[in-house]
Amino acid sequence: MAAPTCSLSVLSYLVSLCLLFSLEKGFALQYKQTTNSHNTPQHTYTVQLSSLLPDSICSTSTVPNHEASLKVVHKHGPCSQVHQDSITTHDHTQILQQDQSRVKSIHARLAKKSATTAAATGRIHQQDATTIPAKSGAVVGSGNYIVTVGLGTPKRDLSLIFDTGSDLTWTQCQPCAKSCYSQKETIFDPSKSSSYSNVSCTSADCSQLKSATGNTPSCSSVTSTCVYGIQYGDSSFSVGYFARDTLTLSSSDVISNFLYGCGQNNQGLFGGSARLLGLGRNKISLVEQTAQKYNRLFSYCLPSSSSSTGYLSFGTTGSKAQYPIKYTPLSTLSASASFYALQVLGISVGGNKLSVPATLFQSAGTIIDSGTVITRLPPTAYSALSGEFKKQMSKYPSAPALSILDTCFNLSAYQTVTIPKISFYFGGGTAVDLDATGILYAASLSQVCLAFAGNSDDGDVAIFGNVQQKTLQVVYDIGGGRIGFGSGGCS
Ligand SMILES: *[C@@H]1O[C@H](CO)[C@@H](O)[C@H](O)[C@H]1NC(C)=O
Ligand SMILES: *[C@@H]1O[C@H](CO)[C@@H](O)[C@H](O)[C@H]1NC(C)=O
C-alpha cells in the first residue's frame, strides 16, 4: 500500500515511534509508542485512530535473506492470492465462532482420555458429542495465515494455511474422486507430477497416521494404497491417498519424498485455500520430516495487518527482530505430545501485575498455537485481565460484545486513544510485551475489543493465540527445548 505516512516526531521530551497496523479487517490505525527522555518504559501505547483506511493494497515487507523463508500472509487480506472481498462484521463473528470451535476441539483432544471415560459412563453431553467427533484427533483448521509452497515435479504453487496445532499436511487432489470444495488455485493433479508416489498400506509411515489424525488409516484394495482420513470439529474433513512428492520451499530448499495427504473427498469451509501445512510435533509434521535438514528449528513472524506480510523460516531463528530473542522452556502436555506447550506465570496490564497466582496458569497448562486467533485464559485470569483493562480504559465508552469478545469500546469519537500495555511473564524469567496490534481486535471503530477470552473452566488448557503473536518473531527451537520471542520481527 502507499504506506500511510508514519511520522517520527520529536516533541520536547517525547520520541514517537510510529507503527502502522490494521486489525484483521480493512482498517488501518496508527500506533505511537512513547518513551520519555529518561528511557523509562511507558506502560501505555498511544493509538492514533487518525484514519480508517480500507487496506486494499498489499505492502510487502522483505522476507529475511535466509533461503528457506516463505512469505506469510493473512487469508482475508489483499496480500493473499486466495482472499475474498473485504470482510464484514458478520465475517468477524464467523471467524470468532470458528475460533471457538477450534478451541473446543483442542480441549476435546486434550481431554480425550477423560472424555472416553465420561462417554463410557454416559456423562458426555449430547451437544459435545455432536459438535466434536469422539474420535477426532484433529483440531479445526480455522488458522488464518497462509504460505505458498510448491508441490510436485514440475512444481505447482499451493497456498496452505500453516498450523502449529496440526500434523498432517494435505491438499485437495485431482481427480477429486468424491468431492473437492472450490479453491482459487488449480487443484493439484498427481498424475502430472513425475515425483509423485503412493504410500503403501504396509509401510510404517501409514501406521503413523493413527496418532497424527486420530483415525486408523484404511487401505485402497486396488493398489494397496494407504488412505488417510481426518475430520475436524466443525464437521469438515478430508479423505484421500497418503502420498509422497517433492515439496519446494525455495529454489534451494527442496524436500524430496515429503509425506502428505492427497485429498479425494474434501468438505468444509476452507476459505479458498488449498489447505494445510502441518507444523505440529508428530512424526509426520513438516518439522519432523525435515528434522535432519533443519534440526527442528523454525521461526515465523505474523504481520501486524492483513495488508502486510510476515515470514515463516526453517532452520534459522531468523534475524530480523529489533531486540534480542528471549527464550522460555518448551514443554509437553501429558495429554498430547503434538502441541507446543510453555509456561505462563503471570500477566501485567499497564505495568500492574494481575493478582492471579502462577499456580492457576501452571495447573491449566498453556500451548502456543499459530491457528487459534484469540488467546484463551483460565476464566479467573481472564476476568482479572478484563477488569484491569476496563479500569485503565474507563474514560472510553464501552460497546457491545463481539461474539466471544466481551470487553469492547466505542472509539469512533476519538482521534487518539491511550491503551495499557500488556505483558506476559513466561517460565525462565522471560517477560514479553505484546505489540499494540496484539491487544485489540476491531470490527469497526465503534466496536474495538480486548482480544482475549476466558475458557469455560480454570482447568482447561490456556492458548497463546495468533493475534497476540503479531509482529513478534517467534522461534521454535525444538532441539534446544525452547520457544523464543523477539519484538519487532516484522511490521
Ligand atoms: C495411487 O493409488 C490410487 C488408488 O488406488 C490409484 O488410483 C493411483 O493410480 C495411484 N497412483 C500412482 C501414481 O500409483
Ligand atoms: C459510538 O459513538 C458514536 C459517537 O459518540 C455514536 O454516534 C455512535 O452511535 C456510537 N455507536 C455505537 C454502536 O454505540
* Interval 80-100: pLDDT, tens: 776 655 667 778 888 898 889
Of 289, 309, 337, which residue constitutes the final position of a domain?
289
Last residue of a domain, one of 255, 289, 323: 289
**278 Cβ contact partners less than 8 Å away, ≥ 6 residues apart:** 163, 166, 167, 168, 169, 212, 284, 285, 286
Looking at every residue in the chain, the average pLDDT score rounds to: 82
Q: Which residue has the higher pLDDT, 11 or 438?
A: 438
Between 115 and 234, whose confidence is greater?
234
Choose the weakest-confidence range: 129-133, 195-199, 281-285. Answer: 129-133
Same domain, 167 and 282: yes
Mean pLDDT of 303-319: 86
Ligand nearest to the CA of 245: 1
Both 52 and 180 in one domain: the answer is: no
**Residue whose grid cell is 498489499:** 58
Centre of ligand 1 to C-alpha 170, Å, is 16
The predicted model gives 261-274 an average pLDDT of 78
Give the mutation target among 52, 396, 410 for probing the ligand 2 site: most ligand atoms within 8 A of CB.
410
Q: What percent of the chain has pLDDT over 70?
A: 79
Stretch 253-258: mean pLDDT: 96
Distance 395 CA to ligand 2 centre (A): 15
Question: In terms of domains, do 12 and 161 share one?
Answer: yes
pLDDT band of 304, cuts 50, 70, 90: confident
Measured in degrees and rounded to the nearest 5, phi and psi for residue 334 equal -65, -30
- pLDDT single digits (tens) 347-364: 999 999 999 999 999 999
Q: Are residues 253 and 307 in the same domain?
A: no
CA of 164 to the centre of ligand 1 (A): 30
Atom from ligand 2 closest to the CA of residue 399: 14
Q: How far is the CA of 410 from the centre of ligand 2 (A)?
A: 6
Of the residues 55, 99, 163, 167, only one is catalytic, namely: 163
Q: Provide the pLDDT for residue 138.
A: 58
Q: Is the pLDDT of residue 406 over 80?
A: yes
Mean pLDDT along residues 382-393? 98
pLDDT at 379 over 70: yes
Q: What is the model's pLDDT at position 323?
A: 81
Q: Domain check: are 82 and 168 in the same one? A: no
Residue 149 — pLDDT band, cuts 50, 70, 90? very high
Please report the pLDDT score of residue 97 as a whole number. 87
CB-CB contact of 220 with 241 (8 Å):
yes
pTM for the whole thing? 0.86
pLDDT attached to residue 134: 33
**Reported confidence tier of residue 236, pLDDT bands at 50, 70, 90:** confident
326 and 261, same domain (yes or no): no
Which of these ranges, 71-80, 205-214, 244-253, 295-304, has the smallest mean pLDDT?
Answer: 71-80
The reported pLDDT for the residue numbered 358 is 95
| 432 domain-assigned | yes
Which pLDDT score is estimated for 86? 62
Least confident span in 28-42, 245-259, 412-426, 468-482: 28-42
For residues 365-381, give the mean pLDDT.
Answer: 96
Distance in Å, CA 463 to ligand 2 centroid? 33
For residue 121, being part of any structural domain is answered with: no
Residue 198 has pLDDT above 70, yes or no: yes
Q: Which pLDDT tens digit goes with each residue over 338-347? A: 899 999 999 9
Structural domain includes residue 117:
no
Segment among 71-80, 201-210, 389-398, 439-448 with least mean pLDDT: 71-80
pLDDT at 11 over 50: no
Same domain, 233 and 355: no
Residue nearest to atom 5 of ligand 2 (CA): 413
Q: Which atom of ligand 2 is nearest to the CA of 447?
A: 13
Atom of ligand 1 nearest to the CA of 243: 1
459, pLDDT greater than 80 = yes
389-396: long-range contacts, CB 8 A cutoff, minimum separation 24: 389/349, 389/420, 389/422, 389/450, 392/349, 392/350, 392/419, 392/420, 393/419, 393/420
Smallest CA separation from ligand 2 atom 9, residue: 446
Q: Is residue 294 part of a domain?
A: no
Residue given cell 528449528 in the structure block? 297
Count of CB atoms situated within 10 Å of the CB of 459: 13
pLDDT attached to residue 481? 97
Ligand whose nearest atom lies closest to the CA of 242:
1
For residue 420, whether the previous peptide bond is cis, meaning omega lies within 30 degrees of 0, is: no
- Residues near ligand 1 (Cβ within 6 A): 196, 198, 220, 222-223, 225, 241
Do residues 268 and 315 share a domain? no
- Which set of grid coordinates corresponds to residue 429? 524469567
Average of pLDDT values for 224-244? 88
Give the number of whichever ligand sits closest to the CA of residue 173.
1
Atom of ligand 1 nearest to the CA of 191: 13
Residue 387 placed within a domain: yes
Q: Answer whether residue 1 shows pLDDT above 70.
A: no
On the CB side of 357, CA atoms within 13 Å amount to 5
457 counts as catalytic: no
Beta carbons within 8 Å of 396's beta carbon, 6+ residues apart: 409, 410, 411, 414, 417
Q: Are residues 474 and 335 in the same domain?
A: yes
Residues 313 and 175 in one domain: no
pLDDT of residue 291: 97
Q: How far is the CA of 408 from the centre of ligand 2 (A)?
A: 13
Confidence (pLDDT) at 37: 43
**In angstroms, what is the span from residue 441 Cα to ligand 2's centroid?**
17
End residue of a domain, out of 227, 256, 289: 289
Whether the per-residue pLDDT at 425 is higher than 90: the answer is yes
CATH of the domain at 419: 2.40.70.10
pLDDT tens, position by position, 462-491: 999 999 999 999 999 999 999 999 999 988
Q: 245, 369, 433, 460: which one is catalytic?
A: 369
Which of 4-18, 81-95, 136-150, 300-314 shows the lowest per-residue confidence on average (mean pLDDT)?
Answer: 4-18
**Range from 71-75, 109-113, 381-385 carrying the lowest mean pLDDT:** 109-113
Residues 369 and 242 occupy one common structural domain? no
- DSSP secondary structure of 383-431: HHHHHHHHHHTTTSPEE--BTTB--EE--TT-SEEEEE-EEEEETTTEE
Q: What is the pLDDT of residue 125?
A: 31
C-alpha of residue 175 to centroid of ligand 1, in Å: 11
- pLDDT given for residue 314 in this prediction: 94
- 345 and 377 within one domain: yes
The ligand that comes nearest to the alpha carbon of residue 227 is 1
163 counts as catalytic: yes
Pocket of ligand 2 (CB under 6 A): 399, 410, 412-413, 446
What ligand is nearest to the CA atom of residue 448? 2
Mean pLDDT within 278-304: 95
CA nearest 104: which of 123, 129, 74, 76? 129
pLDDT of residue 229: 93
Average confidence (pLDDT) over 43-53: 69
List C-alpha distances in Å: 84 to 4, 56, 81, 88, 453. Answer: 23, 11, 9, 11, 27
109 within some domain: no
On whether residue 2 sits in a domain, the answer given is: no
How many domains does the chain contain in total? Answer: 2
The residue range of the domain holding 274 is 8-17+136-289
**Which residue's alpha carbon is nearest to atom 13 within ligand 1?**
197
Instruction: Judge whether 349 lies within some domain.
Output: yes
The pLDDT, as a whole number, for residue 28 is 33
412 Cα to the center of ligand 2, angstroms: 7
